[in-house]
Amino acid sequence: MQPFQKWFVAAGFLMAAVLGYLLGLSHRLPASRPGLPGKDFASSSSGKPEAELVTLKGGSYSMGDPLGELKDARPHQVTLAPFMMAKHEITLELWDSVMLWGRDHGYSDLPAGNGKGHNHPVYGISWGDAVKWCNALSEKEGLTPCYYTSTTKQNIARKGRVDIGNQHVNWEANGYRLPTEAEWEFAARGGLANKRFPLGNEITHEHANYHGSPLIEYYKSQREGTVPALMSSKPYTAAIGSFQPNGFGLHDMAGNVCEWCWDFYDPSYGTPEPQLKDPHGPDKGQNCVVRGGSWRHTAAEARCASRFSQPGDLPAAHVGFRVVRCR
């Protein structure tokens, strides 16, 4: 079997069964959901962007775990160009509005989203579908898409299962894309250096949505389980904006849902180079990176430097995403 290449897949009913088994959840991932509004979404290129963005100046920072608690996150210097990042995780409402537009504009296999409410983060989206959705949002707003089916960048990635890597990306395009792992961590830190979390070295349920464990000393609420107000039914997501933002004005960079990044997962990232400039991760790999922890993870996984490895074709009820654009 060939090593896993980044590809696009549409989650179907068989995947729903696998997901339910892995996560022990009672919900299913629908191939489509009845009752979605049948709006005629015209291009919004002249209007306000649908994803509220925060402008980040970029610059140099120490990426990785400065406290030596994570074996796969050794500190190394990274320099980033300026970029813009979504203030919130992509919501169910935004996912579905772009998905419906996309189905009429060449994105025929984008799945319906999953979420507890229109203003909750979408979940159960594979890495590949998130990438195609980014292209759909770009085209909907009249921007240049970032992802292509070949290295010549002639054909926009819109549907089907397509191998894709760093050379398939127009990194200079003004359209939407997934954040690189380096961009994500820079944004999560919110301007704070050498801290565990976006707001400092300690965390409570007033700061983020995650699964509390009294065994973790820097978790100061010292209560077992999820935020009580969110426990009506799984998944225990919170509406966007429910918790205070970090220093950059970004919400839920710790907890709520994990977030897809562009990169293949590299267990020994941060090669001993003096400085990495706008790194995009490995060109090959088995799995993709997810960051930030979620409602089902403890505070340990919500640290800014914590990293996860997730198959790009496997949706999960604790994984969502947010988008970035070049400045």
pLDDT at position 271 is 65
Q: At what angle do helices 92-103 and 127-140 cross, to 10 degrees?
A: 70
pLDDT at position 7 is 43
Contact 87, 251 (CB under 8 A): yes
Whether residue 121 is predicted with pLDDT greater than 50 in this model: the reply is: yes
pLDDT at position 228 is 79
What's the CA gap between 80 and 251, in Å, rounded? 21
3-state helix, strand, coil in the chain (%, to 5): 15, 20, 65
**CB-based contacts of 263, cutoff 8 Å, min separation 6:** 180, 181, 280, 281, 282, 288, 289
Q: Which residues lie across from 289 on neighbouring strands?
A: 309
The whole-model pTM stands at 0.86
Q: Look up residue 168 and give its DSSP letter.
A: G
pLDDT tens readout for residues 297-324: 999 999 999 999 999 999 999 999 999 9
Counting residues of the chain whose pLDDT is more than 90, the rounded percentage is 72
Confidence of residue 4 (pLDDT cuts 50, 70, 90): very low
pLDDT tens readout for residues 189-242: 999 999 999 999 999 999 999 999 989 999 988 788 888 788 788 899 999 999
Contact 20, 139 (CB under 8 A): no
pLDDT tens readout for residues 49-81: 889 999 999 999 999 998 989 989 999 999 999
pLDDT tens readout for residues 83-114: 999 999 999 999 999 999 999 999 999 999 99
Least confident of 12-21, 146-155, 157-166, 189-198: 12-21
- Structure tokens belonging to residue 187: 């944004």
Query: Any idea how long the chain is?
Result: 327
pLDDT at position 290 is 98
pLDDT at position 286 is 81
Contact 316, 123 (CB under 8 A): yes
Q: Delineate the domains of the chain, giving CATH numbers in brackets.
A: 1-23+50-327 (3.90.1580.10)
pLDDT at position 185 is 98
Confidence of residue 270 (pLDDT cuts 50, 70, 90): confident
pLDDT tens readout for residues 141-152: 999 999 999 999
Residue 60's alpha-carbon distances to 81, 187, 276, in angstroms, are: 9, 12, 9
Contact 198, 253 (CB under 8 A): yes
What's the CA gap between 49 and 30, in Å, rounded? 28
Whether residue 2 is predicted with pLDDT greater than 70 in this model: the reply is: no
Exposed / middle / buried, residue 40 (Cβ in 10 Å: 0-12, 13-18, 19+): exposed
Confidence of residue 129 (pLDDT cuts 50, 70, 90): very high
pLDDT at position 272 is 66
pLDDT at position 327 is 87
- Structure tokens belonging to residue 210: 């995650």
Query: Residue 279's closest CA among 264, 301, 258, 295?
Result: 264
State phi, psi for 324 to the nearest 5 degrees: -130, 165
* pLDDT, average across residues 26-42: 34
Whether residue 29 is predicted with pLDDT greater than 50 in this model: the reply is: no
pLDDT at position 39 is 35
